[in-house]
Structure 1
Amino acid sequence: MKNMKKVVLALCATVGLGGCGDLTVPDLNNPSFESFEETPTRTAVINSATGLLIGTRAVMSNQNGYVALLGVLGREGVVLDSADPRYIGEMLQGPGLNGGSPAFGGNFWNAPYANIRNANTLLNALEKVDGVSEAEKNAIRGFAKTIQALDFLVIITTRDKAGAPIDVNRPFGSELAPIVTKEEVYSHIARLLDEAKAHLQAGGNAFPFPLSSGFRGFDTPASFLEFNRALKARVDVYREDWSGALADLDESFLDEAASFDLGVYHAFGTGSGDVKNTLNGPNIYANPSLVADARKQADDTTPDARVQRKVAVTTKTGEMPGAQSVFNLAFTQYKSDTAPIPIIRNEELILLRAEARIRLEQYAAANEDLNIIRTRSGNIPRVEEALSGDAAISELLYQRRYSLLFEGGHRWIDMRRYGKLEELRQEDPAGMDFTVHDHFPIPKSETDARQ
């Protein structure tokens, strides 16, 4: 991580957390980094923990945020902004993403690392603070390490084969942490989540700070642990630890009978200093291929119900120079600027279990999972005979494409995981010869600092 002389601690923020009016964090007269680390108070520690939620949502909801840009790379949608040609010229054309462009190719690095630094500072302060019980300290540790894992996941899903630093809990001015492989980063994330599990199990019955509305139902150490295990299952799948994924899903909130929307979300608000969700903005369009590729519902006429719920014709239109079509489809799942963005939902957990079962050649059980998704989420017919091998993977990827549409770059990540990125060319507009980027580069500011 690039050498920094100062860190803006989340405890100094004056923002709320998505529709929860009691989560405003006071300024505390701008305490310095040094005073917080050396002489922390209970109030400062608790406010810092709350502030980590502010940091982890920082790169999610903008037009050039994680959901939108990874959605462009995964051909879920396109951003047509006449004021900024980089949405086409860099994200879809050119030989590669530009690491010198902080809002595009160099994105999703500084913000998550700043939040990881804040979490490390909080963890260090817990060793010195008075007035916080051991159970409360463990609850905070479990929370902070889970949020760190979430931030590292943003970094490595974007950087992939470029790798990233993980040994970043170092004093300012010290030697920069080495960049390690993506396998080492994923191992580090898994380790953080397992350490957090142990802390949460010793964390008592309640957190000593409020969580945002996006964590409703997962706001005690015990219920937050189910979220932790859900994240771990996703990481297990990315690491191809199929048995580990099934074990972690057993400890998660996976529930076939529950709503598919049960889960944990980034929350947003319109209060002073808060952050809005702008994914319903006028420049973001859905890819027409979503409708063209959708299967038919049981009536053999209407497209997959997920398309009906998430994509609609809009009165606005957008044109892409050189394309032989006009864009007039919008994403509709984010209906307002306070709409939450999923971190992980029950529907994804069922699909993660299906994938693990496919890879363990438990095809009949996997098919039952997929039938739950087909019939309840897509309203498309059951498949009675279980698919196997590559056919089962192709079916899984179809279901994930529509179930997790425009939620967090899943399509791009999935196609990369299975070596199918070039197939995304089939979803490009007619008349366009686009590049399929496979990863974001390490930012130029970082490589310059490392000479």
Structure 2
Amino acid sequence: MRIKNKISISLATLFAAGLLLKGCTKTELVTDPNYPAVETVLNNATKEQINQLGVGVQSVMRNGLSANYTWSGCIGREVVYYASTESRFHEELQGSKPIDPGGLMMGWYSAASQTRRRAEILHQSAEKSSALSDAEKLAVKGFVKTVQAYVMLNAANMAYSKGIRTSFTDLRVPGDMLKPGCFSTYEQSLAYIKQLVEDGNAALKTGSNTFPFPMTAGWAGFETPEKFGKFNRAVAARVAMYQKDWAALSSALNESFINETGSMDAGPKFTYSTTANDATNPFFQNENATNVTTLVQVNFVPEAEAGDKRVFGLPRNKKDGTAKVKQRTNPLAPTGFPLMPYEVQMFETISSPVGIIRNEELLLMKAEAAMQSNDLDEAVRILNIVRDAAGLNDYAGAVTSDAVLDELLNQRRYGLFMEGHRWFDMRRYDRLSTLPKDNAEHQVWTEFPRLLSEVDWDSKYPCN
């Protein structure tokens, strides 16, 4: 059965710009051609409307993922995005020209902000609905706060010192639609995100046993509030890592879905399909494409450890493959770059799912928490689990803080390739200056600029 979608709304700020929610069955996401006004769901929404809004939020949660991973991957020197007719991708991201704050690279910001707002509409609709029990309303709140924390952490890491707005228009206050809050510092942004994820965790623990909307197929194993709470704790672990709160990181991991004997790929997934109006996998690309393709930065393969299946195994675009890159038949490069003989090949088909947070990441966070707590033997033990899964022998280097940190960052480099981590890892350990530059004119950016429309908005309507 196809579950139809709900609402579309146009508001004046990026946090409330064009609302288009997608609905789905348990396995597909589709768009409904009917767009009732937002008031129809904010005022005593029906169970069916809550059902559809919940599925819609799951759909839009995927938005901006490609920009997050690919643009940060370019700046973090994992990849070079090549477009034969558009030089701005490699010029701006690799640093020979400033990033245009009103240009091609800023879609991640509006995607996160709009998803946060759409999730808030679901939350407020549930709160005002007589069709839901108090326990169901808490389950919705837990889901919403977790989604908001996930997407806004992605945005905060891209913006860094530019920050995010940690308050935005209040749907419950008449006339407040055009009053977004001020931008916060990075540290304040992380504190806000931590509050979101902790509020979500509390609500999930006290709410109903099921969500009042269906969860899509990618959430198998996380489809109830209790099970979804393990994803919440994984997001909380990410937040704690960026806050350098190692005790909180360890605590969150213990309540997450981390599994030392499990698959590195275990975890919830974003699903895609070729169903009309659904999204296809944004990272899938045909082999040896010459017009638009994501190339692997020239240092990545030569600096990999011999035998690493994540690099030298059968490519993931082949069934049961493990390598995330594949050698091209024809090396390619933008003008002024060295020829790049490898391309990204992480997915078998255009409908392949994409992991949201994987067990491999959780294990690497556990190793980092141990290292930061000066338990180097424990850090090495966890790192060896990751190395073993990659086909590598146990770590044989020095067991010192510096050496184990180098190994940790190396495992994150190859284990979490093109998953939105490398740039941020090097920044939080003050190693951006060590990232390679393919051209003497290049530089490594610390952060993205603030979106031009936000600058213009604050210029006309100063926040308070």
Normalized against structure 2, the TM-score is what? 0.88
Name the structure 2 match of 1:244: 248
Structure 1: distance between partners of 2:196 and 2:94: 34
Residue 357 of structure 2: SS of its match in structure 1? strand
Structure 2: distance between partners of 1:96 and 1:359: 35
Name the structure 1 match of 2:376: 363
Alignment of 1:396-407 (within 5 A): 396-407=408-419
Structure 1: distance between partners of 2:164 and 2:416: 26
Name the structure 1 match of 2:90: 88
Higher relative contact order (CA 8 A, sep 6+): 1
Residue 93 of structure 1: SS of its match in structure 2? coil
Instruction: Report the CA distance between 1:152 and its aligned residue.
Output: 0.6
Instruction: Report the CA distance between 1:327 and its aligned residue.
Output: 2.1
String of CA shifts for 1:315-357, please: whole Å, max 9, x gaps: 354222123x322312222121112222111111110010011
Name the structure 2 match of 1:296: 306
Instruction: Report the CA distance between 1:87 and its aligned residue.
Output: 1.0
Residue 263 of structure 1: SS of its match in structure 2? coil
Name the structure 2 match of 1:438: 446
Structure 1: distance between partners of 2:377 and 2:85: 51
Alignment of 1:32-47 (within 5 A): 32-47=37-52
Within the alignment, does 1:388 sit opposite 2:400 as a pair?
yes
Instruction: Report the CA distance between 1:111 and its aligned residue.
Output: 1.6
Name the structure 2 match of 1:189: 193
2:263 to 259, 262, 266: 259
Structure 2: distance between partners of 1:2 and 1:444: 15
User: Quick check: 1:10–1:47 contact (8 Å CA) kept in 2?
Assistant: no
User: Quick check: 1:249–1:353 contact (8 Å CA) kept in 2?
Assistant: yes
Residue 435 of structure 2: SS of its match in structure 1? helix
Extract unaligned runs of 5+ from structure 1: 298-303
Residue 285 of structure 1: SS of its match in structure 2? strand
Judging changes above 3 Å, is the alpha-carbon distance between structure 1 residues 317 and 212 closer, same or farther for their aligned structure 2 residues? farther
Name the structure 2 match of 1:412: 423
Name the structure 1 match of 2:27: 20
1:100 to 87, 93, 102: 102
Name the structure 2 match of 1:232: 236
Extract unaligned runs of 5+ from structure 2: 1-10, 313-322, 460-464
Instruction: Report the CA distance between 1:404 and its aligned residue.
Output: 0.3
String of CA shifts for 1:234-257, please: whole Å, max 9, x gaps: 110110000110011100011111
Name the structure 2 match of 1:31: 36
Instruction: Report the CA distance between 1:187 and its aligned residue.
Output: 0.9
1:313 to 316, 327, 341: 327
User: Quick check: 1:5–1:173 contact (8 Å CA) kept in 2?
Assistant: no
Residue 83 of structure 2: SS of its match in structure 1? coil
String of CA shifts for 1:41-74, please: whole Å, max 9, x gaps: 221122111111111111123xxx2221111111
Structure 1: distance between partners of 2:162 and 2:129: 38
Judging changes above 3 Å, is the alpha-carbon distance between structure 1 residues 68 and 432 closer, same or farther for their aligned structure 2 residues? same
Matched to 1:159, the amino acid is: A
Structure 2: distance between partners of 1:109 and 1:166: 14
Judging changes above 3 Å, is the alpha-carbon distance between structure 1 residues 5 and 246 closer, same or farther for their aligned structure 2 residues? closer
Alignment of 1:336-347 (within 5 A): 336-347=349-360
Structure 1: distance between partners of 2:58 and 2:89: 28
String of CA shifts for 1:126-181, please: whole Å, max 9, x gaps: 22101112222111111111111111112101001111111114255443311111
Instruction: Report the CA distance between 1:100 and its aligned residue.
Output: 1.6
Name the structure 1 match of 2:389: 376
Name the structure 2 match of 1:75: 77
User: Quick check: 1:254–1:349 contact (8 Å CA) kept in 2?
Assistant: yes
Name the structure 2 match of 1:300: none
Matched to 1:219, the amino acid is: E
Judging changes above 3 Å, is the alpha-carbon distance between structure 1 residues 91 and 67 closer, same or farther for their aligned structure 2 residues? same
2:434 to 399, 417, 423: 423
Instruction: Report the CA distance between 1:8 and its aligned residue.
Output: 4.1
User: Quick check: 2:241–2:365 contact (8 Å CA) kept in 1?
Assistant: yes
The range that moved more, 161-170 or 244-253, is: 161-170
Judging changes above 3 Å, is the alpha-carbon distance between structure 1 residues 2 and 247 closer, same or farther for their aligned structure 2 residues? farther
String of CA shifts for 1:211-263, please: whole Å, max 9, x gaps: 22221111111111011101101110110000110011100011111111101
Matched to 1:296, the amino acid is: A
Instruction: Report the CA distance between 1:433 and its aligned residue.
Output: 3.5
Residue 328 of structure 2: SS of its match in structure 1? strand
Structure 2: distance between partners of 1:51 and 1:322: 43
Normalized against structure 1, the TM-score is what? 0.90
User: Quick check: 1:211–1:219 contact (8 Å CA) kept in 2?
Assistant: yes
User: Quick check: 1:45–1:122 contact (8 Å CA) kept in 2?
Assistant: yes
Name the structure 1 match of 2:156: 156
Judging changes above 3 Å, is the alpha-carbon distance between structure 1 residues 397 and 364 closer, same or farther for their aligned structure 2 residues? same
The range that moved more, 200-209 or 75-84, is: 200-209
Name the structure 1 match of 2:136: 136
Structure 2: distance between partners of 1:261 and 1:5: 33
Instruction: Report the CA distance between 1:380 and its aligned residue.
Output: 1.9
Instruction: Report the CA distance between 1:112 and its aligned residue.
Output: 1.2
User: Quick check: 1:367–1:386 contact (8 Å CA) kept in 2?
Assistant: no
Matched to 1:290, the amino acid is: F
Name the structure 1 match of 2:316: none
Instruction: Report the CA distance between 1:388 and its aligned residue.
Output: 2.2
Name the structure 1 match of 2:13: 3
Percentage of pairs with the same residue:
31
Structure 2: distance between partners of 1:78 and 1:315: 17
